Structure 1
């Protein structure tokens, strides 16, 4: 017996019933809901990214930055021409989206330049150009134009003149002619510029006062007649300047000189130094005026043979003496005093009014005698003319007066007047 088969429609109904049961399962609903939610989240996130990436530049806030000290390049025939007047650096201001501004500022992979390759010799006003900036940036250069001078390139050799300020030398020191090595340099620049060269100098300077030879590597400076610095290339750029410095000197004898007198009863027989000459240092002109050095020895407290350590004083214009001290041996002796009389020493009048005459009442002859006491040798030297006896008549009027007598004489000799006072009569000239 053949088995009966279910109709086709009945099979479909059976499958649908199974699907309905599956969809009615609460876990199925939960899983589908979760999948849809995840899909929706991912779709929104992707849409947001696409929207941000496709936002127009104008909708993103701009940033402005100024880049300083940007090297300015120049394009020209550097083998045959020289360009002057250009600044070494300029400022560049950029504006745009922050990420482009920051990247450009950090990397500095752009170029600012002037193109002079098609210009002739002479003066020109040329624009400053730039390249290798992002197209998304606005670029502004400062300055926008530069004034340049294009000249024929010339190289010439010039002597170098050393320059040294003698005011930095210590007192008494002198500088000889500075020595420059090398003493000639090659200067390259525009033909017109080289024609303006008046000075090629190597100036040497130092801190403090100089007392010895100095040697410096010094930059060469090129100047015009108004002492303006010229824009040229110097080879070599530095030269060595040596300034020989010395302290002129010469040897001179010393002379021992007694100052003051020893106490009573003591006589200085002789004084001898342990050296006879010294070396003096100073400027040449000052040295020529010094032929000996006088050493003063104070004997006012010397009562016996003694050796003194005496400093040697420097004359004006001498900055150093070698040695600086001398040992002076002093030999003394006991004084042998004697006395003598000087008679008829006239009395002089000082300060007497021109309209008055003086008449001596006592001493009548207007003269005195002087008893002189001292060392025999000194007394032999003393003469009447070495003593001056006088009266001070300042302010005295007509009439009789008693006036004190005053004496001037040698310091190392004592004296005594025969009278200490004089009596005088003052009267008008022409009266008896």
Structure 2
């Protein structure tokens, strides 16, 4: 209590109040000095920054960088809204499509068109979903020539059928085409059989009979001049007898390339006779090579001795047998051999395609047939000639099994020389011996050549014989 009282007395003391006032004044002065110091420092910083800005802005070395920075800042400020608009819109897609067909619109009855490509390329542009939808449409490219007259024209290509939500650009944009007036020409009707590989080969096709033999063709004069023939394409798929059909007519140039023209009418009624001409002929075995180890073929028995062949009458008239070959050098013992039949040219089919041969072997022997007459062939110039010392005969050596060579006599052998290339004077001709078809005996002449003197005179009575002429 006494302390509190003393403190109160002290606070009311005038000296104490003066001391307090002095402390407050000192503190205020200190604050003022601190603020003044801070303000002075701030001004120094501002002056330094201002000086640096001046150095940068007005220094030639930094002026380009400053200008670029200001330009970028201005661009960003001006285009900020438009950039937001771009990023807010859907993405634009483009899809190319190649080889889109071009359709020409023009008076086809009056004009013929040339120079128009068959296809063009397009690019579809738009929003992704719209582009994909348009690409799946069956659109076309149109060349509109309606109202145009004869001559050359530049035509704008237009895409149609892709919808209104996309833009379609064509490549090329324009094409140069020519319109020519059509005229009419008349042509004979020829024919071709098509799909013959789909018809049974035992059948033969006769000469077609057409409802009419001539037809009108409409095209430009240049096109008409290029047409070499008109053919009716007759489809023979699966035919087995006489038939009728409407055959399509096609125009061709001289190289056999189809020509685009209006054929009026474009089909013709045709009747075709179908036959199956055939002929049965023997099968003849032709042996090649020699049986090894001194053996020879004793006999050949086939499971088919004859075959029916199918061909045209003209081909059949020239065929009297068909052959099958047997390689004798591959035989070492009695064997059963399967071999294909060799069909002559022009034969379409046969009743048998191969034969099985039962081949028997035996020991081979040699025999000399003396005094075989020498004949000649192909004396086309009918020259007179004589042989050296009047030679008219030669010996022939035969080889085969004993049973087979015993059947051969001199009348079975033909020895000859060929005079196709004969000229007047002394000449050596090769002697040849005919090997009978199907024979199991081998023939060879003991003398390889014959000396002949060709006089050069002509004897129109000469026959295929030998002697002094």
Q: Does the alignment reach a TM-score above 0.5? A: no
* TM-score normalized with structure 1 length: 0.40
Please state which structure has a larger fraction of its residues in helix.
2
**TM-score, normalised by the number of residues in structure 2:** 0.37
